[in-house]
Amino acid sequence: MSSELGNQLHYVKLDHDPSLEHVKIVSEWAAKWLKEGEVDDKIANWVINQGARAGKAFATVKTHKQGNPLRLITSGCGTAIENLSAFTEIFLQPLARDSKHFVRDTTDFINKLESFYSLGRIPEGSLLVSWDIKAMFPNIDNTLGLRAVKEALDSRREGKPSTQCILEAVEICLTHNNSTFNGEHYLQIHGTTMGPKNACSYADLAMTYIDKIATTKGPFSPNNWWRYRDDIFEVWTHGSHALERFTNFINSIYPSIEFVVRSSHSNLEFLDVHVYLNDGSIYTDVFSKPADGHLYLRTDSAHPKSCKFSIPYNVALRLKRICSRPELLSKRLLEFKEYLVKRGYNADFVQAQFEKVGKIDRAQLLREPTRNKHSSRKYPLILDFNPSMANVGSILRKNLHLLYNSPTMKELFSEGSIFPAFRKCKSLKEHLKFPKRLNKDEVVSVSMGCHKCGRTRCDLCLNFLDDSKHFTSMSTGRRYQIVDDLSCTTHNVIYLATCLKCKVQYVGSTATQFKVRFRNHKSDLIHNKGRCELAVHFNSNPHMLNNIRFIIIEKIHSTNNVDIILTKREAYWMVQLCTVHPFGLNKRKEFNSHKRVSYLN
């Protein structure tokens, strides 16, 4: 990660978080184009994220590639450009998909392949070829990308918002994409990264420039040049020598875009499809990467039943789409049935779902789904899912008549338009993990610790209280961190007193402000009152007041049974810090709350 972010061609390291400065840039864009009438008030306000923060830089490992390189991703959530990139995506996505070279998904790829094969048998000596663009996202030069975006925007029939309005927004997203990693701040200065909402469409549009030159100006004309993001597929009919020349040509189109070629006379993987070429015929099988564990959602996982029990059916649909020959389909169904059974699915249930799919014609599965433009609007009732919750769908159906008692509601919400939709609750991992990687010095927040109040007349803070984020046991030498923001005015606290002369310690607690408890301690020390073991120790041997130091170590945040909790935490710290006699000044009787002395004034 550090080496990726340390690439000075792509990133510059900053000495601060520039998020608020970037918010100002976005605000200026919004004000300008609101005044020009290109965006309305709603959009102008929405794109401005006043509480912006730096994106989180992280990486995924490309386990299927040699050397397992990293794929750098910047989370765009909460950043200054998050909503602005979403705004531009509305206009970029349809333009990116409009290219004849664009491959939408696996189904689209298979349809293109079968359509090509329907034109006739593949000539002898042909090659199945795939080109992969090396690190495409960060290597798309901003000049290349913005030029391609401008050309695409200019080609629209509907020109509002204007090309310049959207183009400026895209440029802001490119040049103000800041992130943080390991406590350091970075700004991307070249290319884009996976994370911003417009990144994929921007990359696709940038590649249309390469597509055009590769297919029209090269020494040989490709038959297909079908591209899914940074992967291109081709049935090459010009021979191996011509392929080498053509690859050299496309690598010369733009200096930062590098193509890596793979080819075979017999078979090649593209997306999740294994394409075979045999005696002029093309057929397809499903392809799984070597690192794919086929870890389908377990049946005992805390997810809605509809999520889990639709998986076998959808697995079979995928296999039937991809496998073009019956014998391959039969083989894969047996293989994937075993994967599902290992994840807890009943073998008979899986078989029934597979047989259900078997009755569907493959041509039907490969057809583009048609959407009824006049279908009624749907209204999801979004809830956090819990396995113990009641059947929400049943409750909705049983009580829908109450809503329909109102003619207005019946008109708004047609029958079947309201349905339950569940969102995932935080997992245990998400509750426990840190939101960011912390430096050793960052583990304790700046505000955490025992701090002096700063008042010039506070005797406790001036002469007796330690200002620190840590405290140490004199008996064990072990150091502990303070995880609360504590001062002399904090109440419901556990504190630690240390005799610097004798190197012994005492743990106490108080429900009052600590400065009140300190005044009682000081009075006991001066007037030789034996109400606590600290005073007994102080007066049993000659001591000076400056021999005693205090530090507050914990605050009790509960409002119920505070005295009981204080006693338990006091006993806990006596044991942890080893302050019970003879190692320290505490006595075992102090473990009992009814023996506590009240020092309330």
End-to-end, the C-alpha distance of the chain in Å comes to: 58
Lowest mean pLDDT among 91-105, 285-299, 362-376: 362-376
Amino acid identity of 335?
E
β partners of residue 494: 509, 554
Across 463-475, b (16+ Cβ under 10 Å) vs e yields ebbbeebebbbbe
Is the predicted pLDDT of residue 246 greater than 80, yes or no?
yes
pLDDT band at residue 64 under the 50/70/90 scheme = low
pLDDT band at residue 443 under the 50/70/90 scheme = very low
- Using CB atoms within 10 Å of the CB of residue 507, give its burial: 0 to 12 exposed, 13 to 18 middle, 19+ buried: buried
pLDDT tens figures, 344-354: 999 999 999 99
Q: How many CA atoms lie within 13 A of 49 on its CB side?
A: 19
pLDDT band at residue 326 under the 50/70/90 scheme = very high
Residues 24, 30: Cα–Cα separation, whole Å: 10
pLDDT band at residue 440 under the 50/70/90 scheme = very low
pLDDT band at residue 318 under the 50/70/90 scheme = very high
pLDDT tens figures, 170-214: 999 999 999 988 888 989 888 888 888 999 999 999 999 999 999
Instruction: Please tell me the total number of residues recorded for the chain in this structure.
Output: 601
pLDDT tens figures, 449-499: 999 998 989 999 999 999 999 999 999 999 999 988 999 999 999 999 999
Q: Which of 169-173, 288-292, 559-563 has the highest mean pLDDT?
A: 169-173
Q: What is the pLDDT of residue 127?
A: 95
Average pLDDT over residues 304-317: 92
Is the predicted pLDDT of residue 598 greater than 50, yes or no?
no
pLDDT band at residue 148 under the 50/70/90 scheme = very high
Residues 447, 14: Cα–Cα separation, whole Å: 24
Average pLDDT over residues 255-284: 94
Q: What is the pLDDT of residue 595?
A: 46
Nearest in space to 47 (alpha carbons), one of 247, 150, 198: 198
pLDDT above 90 as % of the chain: 59
Average pLDDT over residues 534-542: 89
Residues 401, 396: Cα–Cα separation, whole Å: 9
DSSP code at position 297:
P
Q: What is the pLDDT of residue 375?
A: 60
Lowest mean pLDDT among 59-73, 463-477, 562-576: 59-73
- Mean of all residue pLDDT scores within the chain: 88
Average pLDDT over residues 531-550: 90
Residues 499, 478: Cα–Cα separation, whole Å: 17
